[in-house]
Amino acid sequence: MNTPELRTERLILRRFAEADLEALFRILKDEEVNRFLPWYPVKDLEETRKFWQERFASVYDRSGGCAYALCLKKDNIPIGYMKVDPEEPYDFGYGIRKEFWNQGIGTEAGKAVTGQMKKEGLPYITATHDRNNPGSGCVMRKLGMKYCYSYEEQWQPKDIPVVFRMYQLNFDGNGEFVYRAYWDRCSNHFKEQL
């Protein structure tokens, strides 16, 4: 089964359901939460429904990857999301309502999700963050991900130049393997001293 329910000390990680659209709207409409994410904030419930169908519901029908609603155990209402794409580069990403920032939610959920991805046999996951968002890099390092390289691209659909830091966590024992497509695609690529 893709995206099985997971539980941590404070959280229930489960599939998004159509009944969660209001809660998802609260996450996706916030400009600050979506500042470093590759889409614009949604404007209404219809845009939220489309996002849910394209980014989450479509993953549930495929093998590999996952898409989780991050819910506090006390009420099981989504306060964020976390997903791993079902194909290379198995991109790991998340978003959390800002009132829950700096409470270890991303790390707690991320440990459960990366553990599940390893159990399901994914060879590795990657994650990127805008270097102007170093907090995201902290979460990646806490999950055991290793910084590999940085690259600059014209980010779409926002059409702005962004320097991304690419992290990777290998599950298959091949510690030397680095996903290089971003490096190869972008002419401005380099390694930083972090």
DSSP 48-85: HHHHIIIIIIHHHTSSS-EEEEEEETTT--EEEEEEE-
Could you please report the per-residue DSSP string of 87-111?
A: STT-BEEEEE-GGGTTSSHHHHHHH
- What burial letters (b/e) apply to 95-118, b meaning 16+ CB within 10 Å? bbbeeeeeeebbebbbbbbbebbb
Separation of alpha carbons 40 and 181, rounded Å: 25
Q: Read off the tokens for 73.
A: 């155990």
Do residues 15 and 58 touch, judged by C-beta distance below 8 A?
no
Q: Is residue 1 part of a domain?
A: no
Confirm whether 129 is domain-assigned.
Answer: yes
Range of the domain at 14: 6-190
SS3 for 120?
A: coil
- What pLDDT was estimated at residue 2? 67
Count of domains forming the chain:
1
Question: What pLDDT, on a 0 to 100 scale, did the predictor assign at position 59?
Answer: 79
pLDDT for the residue 1: 47
Domain at 99, CATH number: 3.40.630.30
CA atoms within 13 A on the CB side of 63: 3
Q: Which residues of the chain have pLDDT under 70?
A: 1-2
Count Cβ atoms within 10 A of the Cβ of residue 70 and give its class: 0-12 exposed, 13-18 middle, 19 or more buried.
buried
Question: How many C-alpha atoms does 9 have within 13 Å on its Cβ side?
Answer: 8
pLDDT (tens digit per residue) in 133-179: 999 999 999 999 999 999 999 988 888 999 999 999 999 999 899 99
Structural domain includes residue 175: yes
